[in-house]
Amino acid sequence: MPVVHTQPIAVYPGSFDPFHVGHVAIVERAKEIFARVVVGILDNTGKEALFSPEERLEIISEHYRRDDRVEVRSFSGLLVNFLDEVGASIIVRGMRAVSDFEYEFQMALMNRRLAPHVETVFLTPKEEFTYLSSRLVREVAALGGDVTGLVPDPVKLRLERRYRKATHPPTR
Ligand code: PNS
């Protein structure tokens, strides 16, 4: 019997370090298809993390504070377990270019193996953001480049604060 996806909730998972306009565009597209979108922030505090998972949760929640169709949560452990927790069976991922394909394909198949009822749906970003990645935003911001238009305002503010602090440490 085919699995019927009756649940209108989709989870959009990622590291989102930081959340940028390409991510915003994927959430907007997902909202055209699903009634509710849960942005799931992976609770990973790697060596190279710019913002802590708590900061990312705060920033992204601030961006969606007036949107009752978007819920922002963080998760640790397996993504498929997080889907169970929120009552979803759809994973939304953005696919920018062929270079994303192998990684995304492996993840989608692994998630299907772990939870056969889970389906991954790939959405494409706006053409003008296909080059955009969190890694590039981190690099440009760290080197003093202008990230206006590349990240939502709450992210820009936090980036400015972070790097202002780094270049002008408080004097005693
Ligand atoms: O934005 P990213 O960093 O490419 O997102 C990767 C993410 C969070 C989707 C992926 O790392 C993930 O799902 N991690 C949770 C652990 C897990 O479920 N692993 C097995 C499935 S591949």
Is 23 among the residues known to form the active site? yes
Q: Which residues approach ligand 1 with their CB closer than 6 A?
A: 13-15, 42, 78-79, 107, 110-111
Question: Exposed/middle/buried for 150, CB within 10 Å: 0-12, 13-18, 19+?
Answer: buried
pLDDT at res. 161: 92
Mean pLDDT, range 159-170, rounded to an integer: 73
Given this model, what pLDDT does residue 5 score? 55
Reply yes or no on whether 134 is catalytic: yes
Which residue among the candidates 5, 96, 112, 162 is catalytic per the annotation? 96
Higher confidence at residue 57 or residue 5? 57
Active site residue 47: yes
Q: Does the annotation mark 168 as catalytic?
A: no
Provide the whole-model pTM. Answer: 0.92
**Which pLDDT belongs to residue 167?**
55
Pairing of strands 119-123, 70-75: unpaired
Q: Residue 1 — pLDDT band, cuts 50, 70, 90?
A: low
* Residue with CA closest to ligand 1 atom 22: 107
Tell me which residue of 132, 137, 125 sits closest to 163, measured CA to CA.
Answer: 137
Q: What is the largest CA-CA distance in the chain?
A: 70
- Superfamily per CATH, domain 9-167: HUPs (3.40.50.620)
Predicted confidence at residue 53, as pLDDT, reads 94
CB 77 within 8 A of CB 115: no
Closest atom of ligand 1 to 75 CA is: 15
Phi, psi torsion values for 153, nearest 5 degrees: -55, -45
57, containing H or E segment: helix 53-63
Kindly report the CA angle at 132 between 128 and 137, in degrees rounded to 5?
135
Report pLDDT digits (tens) over 90-143: 999 999 888 889 999 999 999 999 999 999 999 998 888 899 999 999 999 999
Specify the pLDDT at position 16: 97
pLDDT at residue 126, rounded to an integer = 85
